[in-house]
Structure 1
């Protein structure tokens, strides 16, 4: 038996999973992200060349993606507005990141905005 430096055995295992014949790629969905269009926390509302959310959502849907990442909080909308925008284009929310400044008491006021983003 051969072990790697990390102590893991990398000897190939041959079992029933090795004989799978189903097309696994049929279950994979690909999503776009506002950052691909230059829209992220530092540029939105600052750089005039960053397209608005409607343009980004339309482009992602037109390209055939199944969903989109949330992008900066509020960029794609909040709550029902966000849900409607996605639904109108047949898109799903693929993921997102909302900074929560738990360790900075003076920034506690930002927490409601983050909660607004993720509520339906």
Structure 2
């Protein structure tokens, strides 16, 4: 399982390196997640041990937000001037995420349904 945890961190590092090298305005961990996803698509599935490692990380995800929450509380005075802009950005990004997720789910469900009907 340590190998898969290392794989996750290597993908994150590769994503950071790629973003810095190319200059993309995307967070490195997001690019690393895309690289991991591409590797899993090529592999054809998720290995069982990787599922266990990912599940353990997700089960303890709230612990990973403690440093960010602490930083917000410590530097709250820096955010007071930009509170409206941050709030608008949060609402817009949340609505956009829900919309994209819904559209993608509809597309993938329709695609899966058409693949089943083609097989019959």
Normalised by the length of structure 1, the TM-score is 0.27
Between Structure 1 and Structure 2, which shows a larger proportion of helix residues?
2
Which protein shows a greater Rg?
A: 1
Bigger relative CO (Cα 8 Å, ≥ 6 apart): 1
TM-score, normalised by the number of residues in structure 2: 0.27
